[in-house]
Amino acid sequence: MHSLRPIGKLVFPRCGWIALVLLLLAGCHKKRLSSPESLPPKLVRVQTIEVKPHVAAEDVVGTVRPKLHSVIEAKVTGRIEKMLVTPGQQVKKGDLLAQLDAREVQAKLDQALAIRQQTESELKRHETLRAKQVITPAEFEAVQSRSQVAVATAAEAETMLSYTKIVAPFDGIVTRKLADVGDLATPGKPLIEVEDPQLLQFEAAVPEAIVGKLTLGTKLPVRIMSKEVGGVVSEIAPSGDPGSRTFLVKLDLLLAAGLRAGQFGRVEIPVSETNVLRAPASAVIQRGQMELVFVVTNDHAQLRLVKTGKRFGDEIELLSGVSAGEDVVTERVSSLVDGQALKTRP
């Protein structure tokens, strides 16, 4: 029988004791192999943390608006006989949008044309009489004046008749139809709205504290949905809204596919210039709520707790934890161990 040897309150046979010792020794040996000093050097790429200038900007929200937007009204009173467009329809400048009942205006034109024809005949007859010195110059001037009035009256009636045809003022798209066949069109009553989708503006209410940073012609980035579009300041309101203490600023937008009037966006207005520490975003690893980087110290990876700031494309701002001039590991970061030897490559 094997002799028993007590361990605490447990009793093992002698062969079991030997197996336990061997197991503990193997565990210690394995732990030593997994320590940073025992790990082979890792081949990584590093980059030096630099101080780079950054223009601090303030985001101001706004809305995309059409630069050309027309609310079309009738210039004469008349019943709408034809409505030839629907919302969303493309139109060209001069296209007929709606037709008003023109019978009354046409009657006035016919009357004016008849009077003009009559006065023209009378004028020709009096020209012959004046040549024969049968009439006085005053009588001829009176007939001449009546003829000129008749011509002007006929021209006015022709113009009024043209107003019964409502046409597109520019190339664009119909956005709203506010009347239909049978409605009475009167001056001042909107009938149709047309806008040019190719010419868009971004309108923003800029706080009075930063509106002084803007000048006409300033180029600013405008973010609409997930797209960044270039904008140029084209209008700055000379007076602000006393309620909100803001000034209306308009920016002409460069052509970008997919933009539509009414979309929400933001414009970045520069307010100051500062220097920030930047590092590649790939150098930062997230572990729970902590942000960490590996700094190269004496060819070894040193784990540092950092705090990050704004994102600049592929780079990120480091607010604390590192200093300018230090090298950080930018690849294979998640596989490193604090204190592990490193080999850098270009």
**What are the residue ranges spanned by the domains of the chain?**
4-33, 36-55+275-345, 58-67+196-271, 70-194
Superfamily of domain 58-67+196-271: Efflux pump adaptor protein, beta barrel domain (2.40.30.170)
C-alpha dist (Å) from residue 153 to 139, 140, 145:
21, 20, 12
Q: Looking at residue 323, what is its pLDDT?
A: 87
Q: Looking at residue 337, what is its pLDDT?
A: 85
Q: Is the pTM of this model over 0.85?
A: no
Mean pLDDT of 328-343: 85
Please state, in angstroms and rounded to a whole number, the distance separating the CA atoms of residues 97 and 167.
Answer: 5
- What CATH class is the domain 36-55+275-345? mainly beta
C-alpha dist (Å) from residue 132 to 32, 129, 142:
136, 5, 18
Tell me the per-residue pLDDT of 160-199, one tens digit each, with 9 for 90 and over. 999 999 999 999 999 999 999 999 999 999 999 999 988 8
6-10 CB contacts, 8 Å cutoff, 24+ apart: none
Q: Looking at residue 283, what is its pLDDT?
A: 87
pLDDT band at 256 (very low <50, low <70, confident <90, very high): low
pLDDT band at 237 (very low <50, low <70, confident <90, very high): very high
pLDDT band at 225 (very low <50, low <70, confident <90, very high): confident
Amino acid (1-letter code) at residue 323: S
Q: Which fold has domain 70-194?
A: OB fold (Dihydrolipoamide Acetyltransferase, E2P) (2.40.50)
Q: Looking at residue 4, what is its pLDDT?
A: 44
The three-class DSSP label of residue 12 is: strand
Share of the chain above pLDDT 70, in %: 88
Bigger pLDDT: 28 vs 270: 270
Statement: residue 140 has pLDDT above 90: no
Amino acid (1-letter code) at residue 250: K
Helix 137-162 and helix 103-131, axial crossing angle in degrees, nearest 10: 160
Share of the chain above pLDDT 90, in %: 42
Q: Looking at residue 20, what is its pLDDT?
A: 44
Please state, in angstroms and rounded to a whole number, the distance separating the CA atoms of residues 253 and 247.
Answer: 19
Tell me the per-residue pLDDT of 69-94, one tens digit each, with 9 for 90 and over. 999 999 999 999 999 999 999 999 99
Question: 196: exposed, middle or buried (C-beta count within 10 Å: 0-12, 13-18, 19+)?
Answer: middle
Rg (CA), the chain: 42
